[in-house]
Structure 1
Amino acid sequence: MSWFADNWFTALQTLAIVSGFAFTCITLRRDARSRRVGNLFQLTAHHHDVWAELFKQPELRRVLSARADLDREPVTDNEALFVGFLILHLSTAHQAIKQGLMDPLDGLGADIRTFFARPVPRAVWQNLRQFQDAGFVAYVEGYFHERAEN
């Protein structure tokens, strides 16, 4: 009891400092969670903007065709540009997930697998993959192999 009487102010200061650290940790966790959600909203808006081009330019719809004959009708410049934007968008999402700026998206692997199974995106990917980060290439192509195994 005499120790407390002699050191009550120091004990109170220590309690205040520890409480301050705990409050800061809680605030930082909430802020990080909030930023991840904000990043997801922003990525969704960009996703919408890129895909809206299909409605503005109907000739781009061949990008989604599983029957596109590239021998008869090669990839157009507009198709290559559109798929290039989608690859850039996917690369950005991959980096955000990798850096912990957003949570992994459910179904992203199936989306990647389905999209790049189509002739136009696959051909554009083959041309652009050399310009991509090696980790991103491995990430995307990992889903190609996953499809073959399933």
Structure 2
Amino acid sequence: MDEHKILRIDAVARLYRTVELIAHYRLKRIYEIDPQRSDPSIIPKELWRRWNITGEEPIKLSLKMSYELLEAERDILGERFIKDMKMQGLLSRRNQSILAHGINPINKKTFNNLLEKTIEYSDETVKDLKQLMEDSQFIKWKY
């Protein structure tokens, strides 16, 4: 496997985690819900059925569950995620890859599209993201 493929696999894993962390951040910051140990009593009943919640044990929310809960809270990003078929397709390709549950490779187009979508979702949560990204660039020395 060439170095670019290895870097792309790593980058897609990081992008997936970033998309998940965006939802977790919003749940915690805006709705005071801990996505690592969510109290079932605060979960809407329609999600109890969908997620097969039967007890009172805290729930660890997956990426999809986090966005479904955001949607139930009428959060703009949760609603967008559920309707965003492009994002759903990209995450499905990631899930069918060697990174998750399958054996399919991650191609450059999938990586680029997931990067673009991740930046969109990040920008919705971190309002000055573009400026922060520019500010975090290394200095380029001119000789």
Using the size of structure 1 for normalisation, the TM-score is: 0.33
Higher helix share: 1
Using the size of structure 2 for normalisation, the TM-score is: 0.34
